[in-house]
A = this chain, B = another copy of it.
Amino acid sequence: MKVLVGGPGTLSGLTLRLGQCLFAAASIGTMVTALGFTNYTAFCYLIASMGLQVLWSLGLACLDFHAWKFKRDLLNPILISLFVVGDWVTATLSLAAACSSAGVTVLFSRDVRICSTAQYLQCSSYQISVALAFVTWFFIVMSSLIMFWILASA
């Protein structure tokens, strides 16, 4: 199996994982500070999906750090298959969560235009949280493509 930039056990791979954790945690943090988000299923799903993403990326960041520090080889077909499946599942869930929340946010701010009148809606927090979720998705897609490429080209 080839060693690729962003692959498991490399410094670039570790950076990608830490980026995913950071942006997913920031997305959760921003959404949680917006009062009343629990009334909307899409926003609750965003929290759940970003939470799963933090757990998954943090676990793999620890593994990458260990492999990089102690020069261990993670390029094992079974391990890579596990990373591929996990990455694709979390990437799909993250995109689904980001898009469903974006749909609701656009509905509030553009279609029915209640952001300026309804005081109980913190639209700017929703928008920032959705944007951060999209950045998280971008990082996890990069990891997923690299992992799939390593597995397929083995």
Contacts and interface: CB of A to CB of B under 8 A. Distances in A.
Question: When A and B form their complex, which 8 residue pairs have the shortest distance between CB atoms, in order from nearest?
Answer: A152-B152, A100-B103, A99-B99, A103-B103, A42-B103, A96-B99, A99-B100, A103-B104
Which of the listed residues A40, A95, A103, A151 has the most CB atoms from chain B within 10 Å of its own CB? A103
Nearest to A151: B152
Given A41-B107, A42-B103, A96-B99, 20 more contacts: A39-B111, A40-B107, A41-B106, A41-B110, A42-B106, A42-B107, A95-B95, A95-B96, A99-B99, A99-B103, A100-B102, A100-B103, A100-B106, A103-B104, A104-B107, A148-B148, A148-B152, A152-B152, A152-B153, A153-B153
How big is chain A's contact interface, by range?
20 to 34
A20 to B, nearest CB: 18
18 contacts: A40-B107, A40-B111, A41-B103, A41-B107, A41-B111, A95-B99, A97-B99, A99-B99, A99-B103, A100-B102, A100-B103, A100-B106, A101-B103, A104-B104, A148-B152, A149-B152, A152-B152, A152-B153
